[in-house]
Structure 1
Amino acid sequence: MSTSSQQQPPLIRLRAPLLGIILAIGICVVTPYNNIYLQATPLGGGHFPLAPFVIFLLLTVLITILAKIFKPLGFLSGIELLVVWIEMVIGSGIAYTGLARTFLINITAPAHYATVGNRWNETLQPLLPPSLSPSDPEAIEMLYRGIAGGRTMGWFEVLTNIPWSAWLTPLAMWGFFILVGYLVMIFLVNILSRQWIHNERMNFPLLKVPQMISKAVDNGEAGSFFCNRFLLVGIAVPAFLHLINGLSLYYPSVPSIPTLLLAGSYVADRGVLAGFAKLKLYFYPAFIGFAFLTSRQISFSFWFFFLAGGLVYGILDTLGYAIPASELGITFGPTLTRPEEMQMIGAYGIFFLFLVWLARQHLIMVVRQSLFLAPATESHSEWFDVRISFWGALAGFTILIGWYVLQGMAFTTAILLVGAFYMIMLVATRIICQGGLAYFTLTAAPIDGMIALFGTKMFVGTSGLLAGMSQKTLFVDLRESLMPSLVHGRRIHQNKLPAGLLFGSMVATILLATIASVMSMMVLCYRFGIRELQLEWANRTTIGVYENIQRLVSAPIESGNWVYTFALMGALVMLLLVVCYHRLYWWPIHPIGYLTAYSSAMRILWVSFFIGWACNALCMRYGGIHLYRKLQYFFIGLIIGDFLMGGGWAIVGLFTGTSYQVLPD
């Protein structure tokens, strides 16, 4: 009887999803004020965000104490704590860079930033569908300068004074697009979850720490877990580091411990090492911890390809190839600056085909089941029947394509654009989830790949404007994107019941977090004015997008031959990597490392991955799995300590007006 009960899937009670939704909404409401107005330590900032993990730790401690005092209480189990945590993660991503940080600026920039010099009134405004931006110029102007007397108003009073009549139509149109886009992500994750989680048994490094804490709570071992001597030593390292550096910020007489070394001055500007002329060495204990917990093959590949990518510049310089940046033509990539980086276009395409090839049998089965050519199979690897996901994804693609066409985009462009968006999103999700990248940015944007393959003609007129706007809304700033969190959520929900409650609560979290994040951002902007808020990055990157759109629709510049050369080179290199990875069991390099070679995230994290990889390799070589099981607690301590100090200084920043940044912003 006891054996049978142990085999039953864990039952999640309603209290856990409800608490997760409440906390997620709270994070969404507070994040814009904390991150933008107070300039405090960001509550999010990646795929392992600060606020959800700190709250998760505090809840764990609270539950452990209550369990000691009131043993029958059982308020939350360890597995339920995981459910609460992933809902907070989902909300946190939507609240800032994942959507709210640039959304309002994105849909109002063509009107507000139009000048006689840039001629946006003549080139962009006639192409912008009226339903996608507020029709009242005064409503837009108030967004940037603030409501008269807004600073003296209460938050609710500001909310009631927002000119909602001007916003209802654009918010409804964009809200429909965003929610359908999210729904397609859910369907795709549900289709692929069995392949990635069950068939390929993909590792999820970012889930390891929360899962270990959850397991300790369920086993009644939370006290011994947090009192592990290796864990305590690991926590002490970032605690000491950030205590000293935080005090140094507030009291300059306290000497600081450098966590950033500008190494470019030690490298020659020309020659083989010319690509490292701006090299920076960052030290982040938490990311060293993540790197240690990641597969050695993957962590090695990240720093190896970063260095190899830098050598490409130097080798070309040595050979006399000075390739001008003008060869790129018009690009939308967040960090794309040189033609050599267009290798990622070809590499992403080949790796996507590799993922499809790996999942070919599973995808064929899904299609056969969806066409009623094969019987459905029961599995706890999905939230719901894959047949619903298949037809739902097709319907979602159709709706998005129809949305674009109704707004004025060419039909062929709409089909290719939606396909490119989700192709890049799937590859990026695989990189983040399998690689344990809590911080990730794209090099090239989906539109860059389309321009490289098909030229600029398909983005003439409204097509180019809609493509650039919608890409900026959901599909280019992937530092806090939703899809990786959905995959993590699917892994946490696996084999847990009731599946309907878990899925419904996740959908409710997405819907309510989207509404709360946008409204919180609107209230903040209308109270203080975007001009007075610290939104330099959002303004700069959005203006850059519209400058590129103007060039695209008025005087398109085709990409040079070097773009095609490097895109083809990237495709060939990735093809070689995936063949060797799949066929040679001894092959030491993972293909996803190549996909991050030119990412700005890897410029920050490569040192951490090198240290984490080196420690893991030395541990396994000289101590084996026995030493690894002990030493992993030290690196888990680095993660916990970094985030606890980040949370602590975030609270201090709320009262001081100055914030010490623990994690990368």
Structure 2
Amino acid sequence: MAWIPLVLAVYFSMICIVVVLRRQWIERERLTFPLVQVPLAIIEENDDKPSILKPFYKNGLMWAGFALPFIVGCLNALHNYWNFVPNVNLQTSIPLFRNTTAQTIALSFPMLGFSYFVNLDIAFAIWFFNLLARVEQGLFGILGVTSTQKLYYAGGFPILAHQGMGAMLVLAALGLWTARPHLRAVWRKALTGDAAIDDSDEILSYRVAVCGLIGSVGFVAAWLWLAGLAWWILPVYLLAMYLIFIAITRVVAEGGIAAARAPLIAADFTTSALGTAAMGPHSLVALGFTFVWAADIRTFVMASAANGLKLAEEQLGRGKRGLFWAMALAITVSLIASIATVLHLSYAYGGINLNGWFFGPTGGPVYPFNFISGHLNNPVGSNPVGWVSTLAGGGIMALLMLARQHFLWWPLHPLGFAVSTISMTNYISFSVFLAWLIKTVILKYGGPVLFRRAKPFFFGLILGQFTVAGLWLIIDYFTGMTDNNIYWV
């Protein structure tokens, strides 16, 4: 039970951060939030012809897009029942630079759909910088440039992981620096109650959000300290953790990458930056257990809350205070249901018989213990290659962001560089490229009118995959089929 207050404090701090940044991201910077486009389209009304059935479901293009992932998903699902049904393989890879690296070619229907609603310069930067990262890794491989550092939750090439981490940290830090006029206003409202600053359209008042953030971060720090994390490590870890949270949320809100995580997790970054020799076993154990809430965070509360606030901005107007309690209820129900489900499945069927990643002896559950035992058995000092790579990545990211702000003609959006070294980006980059190419052609030859007319098709691509996955989950439940993996992303 000691874990539940910690997790709730982390989640509450995430919501408070989103409340503080909402106006900056939505009203001032006008981020596109591609992930909310489908629900907005579904609930859109036709004022001319009121009907029970929304216009979204009457659009033939939407159903054409829906059919593609639905049919492919059904074929793959049926193939797992009967081998004679053809299986549609949506992924391959091209070896590069004497097999030192490979470029994944994979079609993800949702990412193709989401990326259609991403700004062209961002979509271009995502696939371009990912391809550049593959070239960089290949050149390093041919030249024999390598690193022997052991990272427990990163890609297979530590130099690129550190480079991407530097870019991710700078993305968050410079984003906060750019937002400093807004942050000063938030602080002034929280501290003095300045009537000139209106926070009535937020789900929490700025005073509650700021005090809640300070209190929840303080609680997390105290919990980690009591768990054994040394006081001098705490600020490094917490700063890295929250900057990662902010950066990933920004990536989701602006880049439409539905599942993303940082090139390094905060625990790996901390041990690499400070070294493990001076940490001691208590600190390493405490860092290892942070994997629970700060490791494979492909989807997490801060990104969900940010998208939720964007959706509320479009639909609820100024009456949003009740939304916080809806979020709190959703988190509470999810925690209770997930804990109960995991315990039931583990005891009823035996965890070792279930999904290998979530329950298996080589999957996610052993990562914290591998991290702890590995560092205890092989203590090392601060990693200089990691520092150089992180500073290089951060420096390049800073230059890209400055160029973006000062030169209107600058074509390379810095967000693409921040996610270029993530393994997930390598998987989705081809889908992003296709969306960028299609959108470029549509805008060039059909203009904004054709772009708007084509939207339902891409809505269908997204909805079709999630629908077919849910449908076969229900069918598999009643038939007893297991491991019927239709899609990955």
TM-score (norm 2): 0.92
Q: 2:388 and 2:62 mapped to 1: Cα distance?
A: 49
In the alignment, is the contact (CA less than 8 A) between 2:93 and 2:104 conserved in 1?
A: yes
Within 5 Å, which residues of 2 pair with 1:497-576? 498-538=319-359, 539=361, 540-576=363-399
Within 5 Å, which residues of 2 pair with 1:161-176? 172-176=1-5
Q: 1:528 and 1:242 mapped to 2: Cα distance?
A: 27
Q: 1:290 and 1:502 mapped to 2: Cα distance?
A: 25
Q: Deviations over 1:478-509 (max 9, x none)?
A: 11211100111122223446433222121122
Three-state SS of the structure 1 residue aligned to 2:101 is helix
Which letter maps to 1:460? G
Match of 1:275 among 76, 81, 101: 101
Q: 2:228 and 2:464 mapped to 1: Cα distance?
A: 51
Within 5 Å, which residues of 2 pair with 1:205-216? 205-216=34-45
Three-state SS of the structure 2 residue aligned to 1:263 is strand
Which residue pairs with 1:459 in the alignment?
279
Which residue pairs with 1:140 in the alignment?
none
Asked if residue 415 in structure 1 is aligned to residue 235 in structure 2, the reply is yes
Which letter maps to 2:428? L
Within 5 Å, which residues of 2 pair with 1:335-414? 335-372=155-192, 374-375=194-195, 377-414=197-234
Q: 2:356 and 2:46 mapped to 1: Cα distance?
A: 41
In the alignment, is the contact (CA less than 8 A) between 1:642 and 1:662 conserved in 2?
A: no
Which residue pairs with 1:230 in the alignment?
61
Q: Deviations over 1:25-52 (max 9, x none)?
A: xxxxxxxxxxxxxxxxxxxxxxxxxxxx
In the alignment, is the contact (CA less than 8 A) between 1:370 and 1:390 conserved in 2?
A: yes
In the alignment, is the contact (CA less than 8 A) between 1:197 and 1:381 conserved in 2?
A: no
In the alignment, is the contact (CA less than 8 A) between 1:231 and 1:637 conserved in 2?
A: yes
Q: 2:348 and 2:11 mapped to 1: Cα distance?
A: 29
Three-state SS of the structure 1 residue aligned to 2:443 is helix
> What is the CA-CA distance between 1:564 and the residue it aligns to?
2.3
Which residue pairs with 1:311 in the alignment?
135
In the alignment, is the contact (CA less than 8 A) between 2:121 and 2:411 conserved in 1?
A: yes
In the alignment, is the contact (CA less than 8 A) between 1:333 and 1:442 conserved in 2?
A: no
Q: Deviations over 1:406-445 (max 9, x none)?
A: 2332222223322221111111111112111112233211
Q: 2:262 and 2:175 mapped to 1: Cα distance?
A: 18
Q: 1:606 and 1:322 mapped to 2: Cα distance?
A: 25
> What is the CA-CA distance between 1:533 and the residue it aligns to?
2.2
In the alignment, is the contact (CA less than 8 A) between 2:20 and 2:210 conserved in 1?
A: yes
Aligned residues between the structures: 482
Three-state SS of the structure 1 residue aligned to 2:259 is coil
Which residue pairs with 1:486 in the alignment?
305
In the alignment, is the contact (CA less than 8 A) between 2:202 and 2:318 conserved in 1?
A: no
> What is the CA-CA distance between 1:398 and the residue it aligns to?
1.4
Which residue pairs with 2:450 in the alignment?
627
Q: Deviations over 1:619-663 (max 9, x none)?
A: 001110011011111111222222222222222222331464333
> What is the CA-CA distance between 1:334 and the residue it aligns to?
3.9
Which residue pairs with 2:88 in the alignment?
257
In the alignment, is the contact (CA less than 8 A) between 1:460 and 1:552 conserved in 2?
A: no
Q: Deviations over 1:225-260 (max 9, x none)?
A: 322222222223223333333333333223333312
Which residue pairs with 2:115 in the alignment?
291
In the alignment, is the contact (CA less than 8 A) between 2:277 and 2:380 conserved in 1?
A: no
Change (3 A) 1:423 1:228: same
Which residue pairs with 1:444 in the alignment?
264
Change (3 A) 1:205 1:346: same
Q: 2:56 and 2:237 mapped to 1: Cα distance?
A: 48
Q: 1:262 and 1:373 mapped to 2: Cα distance?
A: 57
Q: Deviations over 1:118-160 (max 9, x none)?
A: xxxxxxxxxxxxxxxxxxxxxxxxxxxxxxxxxxxxxxxxxxx
Q: 1:376 and 1:331 mapped to 2: Cα distance?
A: 49
> What is the CA-CA distance between 1:464 and the residue it aligns to?
1.5
Q: 1:348 and 1:315 mapped to 2: Cα distance?
A: 23
Comparing 363-372 with 334-343, greater Cα deviation is found at 334-343
> What is the CA-CA distance between 1:383 and the residue it aligns to?
0.8
Which residue pairs with 1:240 in the alignment?
71
TM-score (norm 1): 0.69
Q: 2:367 and 2:169 mapped to 1: Cα distance?
A: 26
Which letter maps to 1:619? I
In the alignment, is the contact (CA less than 8 A) between 2:67 and 2:464 conserved in 1?
A: yes
Three-state SS of the structure 1 residue aligned to 2:393 is helix
Three-state SS of the structure 2 residue aligned to 1:642 is helix
Q: 1:442 and 1:408 mapped to 2: Cα distance?
A: 25
Which residue pairs with 2:20 in the alignment?
191
Three-state SS of the structure 2 residue aligned to 1:215 is coil
Three-state SS of the structure 1 residue aligned to 2:240 is helix
Three-state SS of the structure 2 residue aligned to 1:281 is strand
Once superposed, what is the RMSD of the aligned Cα atoms?
Answer: 2.3
Comparing 511-520 with 423-432, greater Cα deviation is found at 511-520
Comparing 642-651 with 194-203, greater Cα deviation is found at 642-651
Which residue pairs with 1:597 in the alignment?
420
Which letter maps to 2:33? F
Q: 1:380 and 1:633 mapped to 2: Cα distance?
A: 35
Which structure 1 residue ranges, 5 or more long, are not aligned? Answer: 1-171
- Structure 1 stretches of 4+ with a deviation exceeding 6 A read none
In the alignment, is the contact (CA less than 8 A) between 1:194 and 1:381 conserved in 2?
A: no
Match of 1:302 among 100, 123, 126: 126
> What is the CA-CA distance between 1:177 and the residue it aligns to?
0.7
> What is the CA-CA distance between 1:457 and the residue it aligns to?
4.7
Match of 1:476 among 253, 272, 295: 295
Change (3 A) 1:338 1:415: closer
Change (3 A) 1:448 1:188: same
Q: 1:349 and 1:300 mapped to 2: Cα distance?
A: 22
Three-state SS of the structure 2 residue aligned to 1:216 is coil
Three-state SS of the structure 1 residue aligned to 2:45 is helix
Q: 2:186 and 2:54 mapped to 1: Cα distance?
A: 45
> What is the CA-CA distance between 1:185 and the residue it aligns to?
1.0
